[in-house]
Structure 1
Amino acid sequence: MASANAAAMALHGAYRGKPAVLTIDGSEFCAHLKDQLWVQLPVKLVLDATLHGNALTVSMLAPPSRRMSYQRIISREQWGGRHKQKIMQTLRLFSMNLEVAAPDAEAFVDALLKAAYPRTTPHRRVIVLCNPQSGQGHGKHMLDIVVKPVLKRAGCAMTVIETDGPAHAYRVSQTLKVTDYDVLACVGGDGTVHEVVNGLASRSDVEQAMQLPLAPIPCGSGNGLYISLHGAENGFVHYLACLNVIKGTPHVHELMTITQDVHDMDANAWPYTLRGQAADGREYAQYYSFMSQAIGIMADLDIGTEPWRFIGDLRFILGFLVYAIRNRPCHADVDVLFGERGTVSLHEMRRGSDAASRSKEEQRPMPVSPHSLRYGSVLDPITLATTPYDPAMPDAELLRNEWMRLPMPLSFVYTGKVPYVARSLMAFPYTHPHDGLIDVVAQDQRVTLFNKIAATSHGESGRHIYDQGVHYMKVQALRITPRNKLARHRYISIDGEKAPYAPFQAELSELYMTLLSLDDEEWHAPSLRPPMLDVPAAH
């Protein structure tokens, strides 16, 4: 029989003829079989509960049963520390079927679903865009054996579209009826998300389209966005990614606007359709980046190691070693605009990131002019400050509203809005999804090979920003101009995708994307937790 109070509720039934008791106690779901603990899980892992007559089915994500017992246990503490624990990697789909007394069961099912979905509603309408070739065919495999079964057990209404080549996800996102869905799930890598973001951003109803929540399901080699949301230990936990689709809550993530000369664009290779006109009448292409832009070593290893995708994110470490030994300089002019809140102080970045991680995210309206530019396009002339940038400058001496050129020869420039670009590289440890700034990492070409190789061991924890010859700053806009547009085997990478090797300008966009996160209260995902770097607090 069922007994209900504010703290706990129980339901008695039978499993294969054996007496069973299900309980809800606060945020925990338990099942006992013949007076022995059978299941103990955070109720957040319960996907659905359905009752047909006297037959009750409860579907959940749970670890495999322990050896020599039926127990499937994840404690509250393990769930709370899931960003740093490997137990989430053991999650699998599990259902229990019991015979129960229908009058008592109806009240229990209602209470269980309310506890399992405290801030969201069950049975979401989900459109799944899958790149079946992602991860050497891993995307199709995960779609069939994980994504579809989990969403089906959760009672979600699914629409599944498998992409058939480059730009397909972009075209689908341009035309889908966004009001028909609660979530858009991207099965693939960061490139799939990049296409979806640009497809939604190019629509006439862009303000409404960009509020459709996105949830990545990782099948690429980098998966930077997913890892930034769920932690490096959970970099390929597809069941956790599906749980985010089912129960995640929406949060704001700023975008960066990229402009390039339209004459430098190959419409077949870079098909995005937004266009603008500079003051002199020339036309520029405009598109959006949610994760990163790179030139030099970091772009070369990202694009140049494409044939190594079969080894996963290890390719980034090996690629960096190869290109560091080659030691080719990045022949490009790099101009930055700090604006009123830009900084080069690592101490201030740490303070700002820590304060932002404790603050409540403010809801913001979509902009009236979503594609407007604050600082012009890449085709507009800029005036460089007469005072040259000096890496030793304190914040007080920065020229806030003038463009400043980085004077040193560089190995690479890497800019972004998520901390992780791969499981082994926390490229931007002090970035924040809505702080109004772009993080920039640049490495001096003149540092020794030892210093460059050391960065590979420091990058996993974000400590590379303290390495000799590494410059880390926050800016509001930047322009990168390759000096030789005809250089062979040199690349520009935008969100891990090969972009035209030509000048580009980036600034914080008026638009933002909407992402889902599993954190229970405010958005305290890894991207909002400043890392505890084992280094001095100041540069």
Structure 2
Amino acid sequence: MPAQLHVVFGVSNLGSTSDTSTHGFLSMIRKLQLTKVHHPVELTYDGDGLRIEGDFNAAKRGKPSYTCFCIPLPPPKRADPLLLPIQNTNILRVCYNERLKMVEIHALIPMQHDKEDSLLELYKFMYSLSDNNEEEAKQFCKDLMHDVYKDMKPEKRLKVIVNPAGGQGKAKDIFEFGVKPVFEAANCEMDIQYTEHQGHALQIAKDLDINRYDAIVTVSGDGIIHEVINGFLQRPDARQAIKNVPLGLIPGGTSNSLSICLLDYVRGYDPVYSALQVIKGQNLALDLCSVTYADHRYFSFLSQNHGITAYADLATEHLRWMGDTRNIIGLMQQIFARQSYPVEVALQIEESNKERIKSKYRDALVHPVRPPLNELDGPVVDTIPPLSEPVPEDWTVINDDLVFFLTSKVPSVARDMLTHPCALPNDGLIDALFVRGHPSIAKQMEIFKKIEHGQHIDSPLVEYYKVKAFRFTPKAPAGKKAYTVIDGENAPNQPFQVQVHSRLGCVLSLYPTFKNSNI
């Protein structure tokens, strides 16, 4: 059967109105007739997705299961991957194979069509032409690729950094078996490098030829992301490096906070969906924070933490094999000991009213935008007073015992811990959260019980602010162990200050903001 290309003009409605003269638009519906083992197959593309009809054996074969007597059972029936059209976002590559004279389609298909956060599975479909009608097929593929990569660069050149120790040693397999096949299906060019020691990713980013790559992809937890950001910001062309080579994230560590904030608790841990985000994601500007100690300065993209929450992170390092559960164990130890830590905190507060904070957050989600990266040139310079000088008079100074002090640029600092539900990627502010005094065990338990859904911020014991900068001075007495954690890593338990630098960083994201916390 010859391949035939049909173009049909149709009206597609926008919204619920039937007034197509006002709310409609003309869209080209393209059709291509192909064959699969002498059976006719029709491809239909309507601008939003690709429907494949006539391929009745597209489903992958499931793996057989066995009874307790090792008797093989028939493999479970797999859902038809072509039940629904393949959406533009999920189409990786459509091309004409000159050697085989076939049309190739590489796509990621939801495993469960009826589940919004379904994981994805990589498929490759191949269909034959007849009578050498190649030009129609080539034009169909060209038109479709133009649409599915509109405003995006196909076949990206990727610098991939894999931390082989990440995720309890699983990061390498995550990349090789989950991510690399997806990048190959999208015909991405990969330059893969494995980290060999702490600080290696920082040096890679610092020395990177930024004109050779379209993105730098980390297969790791949050630690390698921290290194890459700081490597870029140590360059003389730091701002240009960040603009030229955005971050792509593949969750491959025990902590993947930024990934779950961009996607969600399910897909944020899925290497396949995250690979799709690298391929089809667009630049999302991120605020970064300068962290200044008396003798050094660096940048943070995630959080700054002191008190029982810092203890739960660092004092449980020996339990890292337990994943996020170790944080819960550490918290329980501190809560039942009713620990608190004396500190002095000076805050440059932008907003202190919780209801106004929540209202502005909801407004930002209703009207999401992708603001451009910071257009400033030259070094990234702090505008707040040096650590050796007093803070301005209009800053709020707190001298008290705090149960914990936790500031963050992301909503979730760990799985099922929606600590800062109103955090936004590029509002120029960092969300500060803390509890003063010595609350009872029951009251502390009530706070942490609500933290999974972000409802803890409604507690009168919880203080929640939007701030531009802060200075933190720990005052733990001699002999009392206290921890400070910045971006999940041990930091000096000494005075430091933080300033937000608006839209300084850049990450590839499928969405224009963090996932909705539903606060």
**TM-score greater than 0.5 by the shorter chain:** yes
What is the aligned counterpart of 2:187 among 130, 140, 155?
155
Residue 81 (structure 1) aligns with: none
Residues 287 and 15 (structure 1 numbering): CA distance in 2 closer, same or farther, change over 3 Å? same
Q: Deviations over 1:177-198 (max 9, x none)?
A: 1111111111111111111100
What is the aligned counterpart of 2:381 among 372, 380, 384?
372
SS of 2:52's partner is strand
Counterparts of 1:75-94 in structure 2, within 5 Å, are: 85-87=116-118, 89=119, 91-94=120-123
Query: CA offset at residue 238 of structure 1?
Result: 1.0
Residues 33 and 359 (structure 1 numbering): CA distance in 2 closer, same or farther, change over 3 Å? closer
Aligned-residue sequence identity (percent) comes to: 28
Residue 128 (structure 1) aligns with: 160
Task: Determine if the alignment matches structure 1 residue 320 to structure 2 residue 331.
Answer: yes
Query: CA offset at residue 488 of structure 1?
Result: 5.9
Residue 219 (structure 1) aligns with: 252
Query: CA offset at residue 487 of structure 1?
Result: 5.2
- 1:465–1:471 contact (8 Å) kept in structure 2: yes
Residue 398 (structure 2) aligns with: 406
Task: Determine if the alignment matches structure 1 residue 501 to structure 2 residue 493.
Answer: yes
Query: CA offset at residue 362 of structure 1?
Result: 3.2
Matched letter for residue 450 of structure 2: H
Distance (Å, rounded) in 2 between the aligned partners of 1:162 and 1:207:
25
Residue 43 (structure 1) aligns with: 88
Residues 365 and 34 (structure 1 numbering): CA distance in 2 closer, same or farther, change over 3 Å? closer
What is the aligned counterpart of 2:108 among 53, 61, 71?
61
What is the aligned counterpart of 1:450 among 442, 450, 457?
442
Question: Structure 2: which 5+ residue stretches go unaligned?
Answer: 9-26, 58-79
Query: CA offset at residue 364 of structure 1?
Result: 4.6
Residue 453 (structure 2) aligns with: 461
Task: Determine if the alignment matches structure 1 residue 303 to structure 2 residue 323.
Answer: no
Residues 8 and 331 (structure 1 numbering): CA distance in 2 closer, same or farther, change over 3 Å? same
Query: CA offset at residue 164 of structure 1?
Result: 1.0
Query: CA offset at residue 15 of structure 1?
Result: 2.3
Residues 176 and 485 (structure 1 numbering): CA distance in 2 closer, same or farther, change over 3 Å? farther
Residue 532 (structure 1) aligns with: 518
Distance (Å, rounded) in 2 between the aligned partners of 1:160 and 1:489:
41
- 1:127–1:184 contact (8 Å) kept in structure 2: yes
Q: Deviations over 1:66-125 (max 9, x none)?
A: xxxxxxx747xx6xxxxxx431x2x12111121124222111111221232122021011
Q: Deviations over 1:332-352 (max 9, x none)?
A: 2222122xxx11101111122
SS of 1:454's partner is helix
SS of 1:452's partner is helix
TM-score when normalising by structure 1 = 0.82
What is the aligned counterpart of 1:208 among 236, 240, 250?
240
Query: CA offset at residue 359 of structure 1?
Result: 4.8
Residues 349 and 34 (structure 1 numbering): CA distance in 2 closer, same or farther, change over 3 Å? closer
SS of 2:196's partner is coil
Q: How many residues align?
A: 467
- 2:425–2:513 contact (8 Å) kept in structure 1: no
Residue 33 (structure 1) aligns with: 54
Distance (Å, rounded) in 2 between the aligned partners of 1:411 and 1:367:
39
SS of 1:149's partner is helix
- 1:191–1:497 contact (8 Å) kept in structure 2: yes
- 1:244–1:516 contact (8 Å) kept in structure 2: yes
Residue 335 (structure 1) aligns with: 346
Residue 414 (structure 2) aligns with: 422
SS of 1:476's partner is strand
Distance (Å, rounded) in 2 between the aligned partners of 1:356 and 1:117:
27
Counterparts of 1:93-242 in structure 2, within 5 Å, are: 93-100=122-129, 101-211=133-243, 212-242=245-275
SS of 1:178's partner is coil
Residues 485 and 135 (structure 1 numbering): CA distance in 2 closer, same or farther, change over 3 Å? farther
Matched letter for residue 494 of structure 2: A
SS of 1:184's partner is strand
- 2:344–2:473 contact (8 Å) kept in structure 1: yes
Question: Structure 1: which 5+ residue stretches go unaligned?
Answer: 65-72, 79-84, 263-284, 386-401, 534-539
* Alignment root-mean-square deviation, CA: 2.1
Distance (Å, rounded) in 2 between the aligned partners of 1:92 and 1:482:
49
Matched letter for residue 168 of structure 2: Q
SS of 1:123's partner is coil
SS of 2:318's partner is helix
Q: Deviations over 1:454-504 (max 9, x none)?
A: 223211111111124111111111111112486564221111111112111
Residues 486 and 152 (structure 1 numbering): CA distance in 2 closer, same or farther, change over 3 Å? farther
Matched letter for residue 434 of structure 2: A
Matched letter for residue 283 of structure 2: P
SS of 2:344's partner is strand
Q: Deviations over 1:232-289 (max 9, x none)?
A: 2323111111011111000211111100022xxxxxxxxxxxxxxxxxxxxxx11101
